Chain A
Amino acid sequence: MLARRIIACLDVRDGRVVKGVQFEGLRDAGDPAELARRYDAEGIDEVVILDVTATLEARQARAQTIGAVSRQLFLPLCVGGGIRTEDDAAAVIEAGADKVSLNSAALAEPALLTRLARRYGSQAVVVAIDAKRQDDRWIAYTRSGSAASSREVVAWARDAEAAGAGEILLTSMDRDGTKSGFDCALTAAVSDAVSIPVIASGGAGSFEHFAEVFETGHADAALAASIFHFNTHGVAELKQFLRARGLEVRS
């Protein structure tokens, strides 16, 4: 049976993992490759690098970061953050990413998803949607969540799928950083509307939250960063918990 995926997110700036990392036994907790190796050993199903590096010079260093992480992993590796053009995506893929994640650029030009899907296959094209609740619906935000787009989230998710996206990385801006649980209503609304997998993100604070977003949120995968970094909740223990709940996870 298809397993629910647990995905670790590494927020990287200038080649270093940002957000505090407190892992026992790590020589260098800010080193993305070291962290990726640790997650792999713990049984993570996939790794996402969200590179928030802004400057052009530092972007060239990004390829090195991706290469270093990729060499540690024989699992899917997705890279997002500031990918604006087909060339940006190609650089990330050639450096070792299996998937690229696009947000603002896809909103501005959905045809970019189509071109990338044609070149690399839909399985390599992830559309990242930052969703914020507004009355009884959700609006897709752009530019790292700083500006509202004109798109309602469920409609945009459908259009992105039609344009060629193979997966949706759906972040609840309302929940992100709160540790109060994933937004199950948002996740279910999107997951039920599309045929491609939906990765829920934003709000993970406990094992129970993961079970909820799979059971009630119909998520195909769930992503978290700090809950894993701080080693308070290990990936292996999380999987054990989910298995005991009757949810299929990779062993």
Chain B
Amino acid sequence: MIALVDYGAGNLTSVRKVLGAVGAEVYTPSGPDDLARATGVIVPGVGHFESTRSLGQPWRHAILERLEQGRPLLGICVGLQWLFEGSTEAPGVSGFGVCRGTCDRLPDAEPSTGARLKVPHMGWDTLAFPRPSRLFDGVPAGSYVYYAHSFAAPLARGTVATSSYGVEFTAGVEDGLVSGLQFHPELSGTVGLRVLRNWLEGIR
């Protein structure tokens, strides 16, 4: 059973739908204690980094405990940003901190040309892979995925996929049992389905 952590950050209908489509059994834990039966944990998220404040100590402990038991963790969108140490979007809120670095706002101009960039970065953009990973196995470089974000994570040790929007940022991390996706796999067509399938295969 995959635990889809609902901490009040947005709508989980599409995430549930796509996990069902790739054959995952999903439940929404009633609280941190209810994570004990999770074979894998997904931390989704949309909107403001501030919303992750709800993922306080009890949740962190429960998720760490799962990791120690060999149960994988996947952060999606703001959930990926939360894996890092924090974000300039909400300086008072610390992230989970398993990836090094702080998330920052995307630039509103292309540095090389000065061309204006709209922020949020919203729509379909391409992936590049600095190194092979389980998560992106079978996904060709240049594949398009769907983004909706204004802040992004820096490149880190676990970075296995990147995209560029005025700056190169982490599109996907894979570091031991910890994975994360800045884009929305549930809205990214067949590419998103493939990535989620890859993640689920690491659980069985």
The chain A residues found within 8 Å of chain B, CB to CB, are: 1-5, 40, 45, 70-71, 74-76, 93-96, 98, 117-124, 166-167, 195-197, 220-221, 250-251
- In the bound complex, residues from chain B placing their C-beta under 8 Å from that of A94 are 11, 13
Of the candidates B21, B122, B144, which one forms a contact with A197 in the assembled complex, judged by CB atoms under 8 Å apart?
B122
B138 touches A (CB below 8 Å): no
Bound together, the chains give a CA A140 to CA B20 distance in angstroms of: 41
- In the bound complex, residues from chain B placing their C-beta under 8 Å from that of A98 are 11, 14, 187
Of the candidates A70, A74, A120, A122, which one forms a contact with B192 in the assembled complex, judged by CB atoms under 8 Å apart?
A74
Say yes or no: A5 contacts B123, CB within 8 Å.
yes
Smallest CB–CB gap between A217 and chain B, Å? 14
- In the bound complex, residues from chain B placing their C-beta under 8 Å from that of A197 are 118, 120, 122-123
Interface centre among B13, B164, B188 (most CB of A within 10 A): B13
Known: A93-B13, A250-B144. A74 touches B120 (CB 8 A): no
B46 touches A (CB below 8 Å): yes
B190 touches A (CB below 8 Å): yes
B70 touches A (CB below 8 Å): no
Say yes or no: A3 contacts B108, CB within 8 Å.
no
B66 touches A (CB below 8 Å): no
A-B contact pairs, 25 of them (CB 8 A): A2-B123, A3-B123, A3-B125, A3-B144, A5-B124, A71-B17, A74-B189, A74-B190, A75-B146, A75-B189, A76-B187, A95-B13, A120-B10, A120-B11, A121-B46, A122-B120, A124-B46, A166-B122, A166-B148, A196-B118, A196-B122, A197-B118, A220-B123, A221-B123, A250-B124
Say yes or no: B14 contacts A70, CB within 8 Å.
yes
Bound together, the chains give a CA A75 to CA B193 distance in angstroms of: 11
Bound together, the chains give a CA A40 to CA B164 distance in angstroms of: 26
B67 touches A (CB below 8 Å): no
- In the bound complex, residues from chain B placing their C-beta under 8 Å from that of A120 are 10-11, 46-47
Which residue of B is nearest A198, CB measured? B118
Which residue of A is nearest B150, CB measured? A122
Bound together, the chains give a CA A5 to CA B118 distance in angstroms of: 15
B18 touches A (CB below 8 Å): yes
Smallest CB–CB gap between A29 and chain B, Å? 23
Known: A3-B144, A74-B190, A75-B187. A123 touches B122 (CB 8 A): yes
Of the candidates B125, B187, B193, which one forms a contact with A2 in the assembled complex, judged by CB atoms under 8 Å apart?
B125
B174 touches A (CB below 8 Å): no
Q: Chain B interface mostly helix, strand, loop or mixed? A: mixed
The chain B residues found within 8 Å of chain A, CB to CB, are: 9-11, 13-14, 17-18, 21, 46-48, 108, 118-126, 144, 146, 148, 164-165, 186-190, 192-193
Which residue of A is nearest B142, CB measured? A251
Say yes or no: B122 contacts A121, CB within 8 Å.
no
Bound together, the chains give a CA A183 to CA B144 distance in angstroms of: 29
Bound together, the chains give a CA A98 to CA B17 distance in angstroms of: 12
Say yes or no: A1 contacts B123, CB within 8 Å.
no
- In the bound complex, residues from chain B placing their C-beta under 8 Å from that of A167 are 122
Contacts A76-B146, A117-B47 aside, 18 further interface pairs with beta carbons under 8 A come to A1-B126, A40-B189, A74-B186, A76-B187, A95-B13, A96-B14, A96-B17, A118-B47, A119-B10, A121-B9, A121-B10, A121-B46, A123-B47, A124-B10, A124-B11, A197-B123, A220-B123, A250-B124
- In the bound complex, residues from chain B placing their C-beta under 8 Å from that of A119 are 10
Bound together, the chains give a CA A178 to CA B144 distance in angstroms of: 33
Of the candidates B118, B124, B165, which one forms a contact with A45 in the assembled complex, judged by CB atoms under 8 Å apart?
B124
Smallest CB–CB gap between B196 and chain A, Å? 10
Which residue of B is nearest A66, CB measured? B13
- In the bound complex, residues from chain A placing their C-beta under 8 Å from that of B193 are 74
Smallest CB–CB gap between A161 and chain B, Å? 11
Bound together, the chains give a CA A2 to CA B124 distance in angstroms of: 6
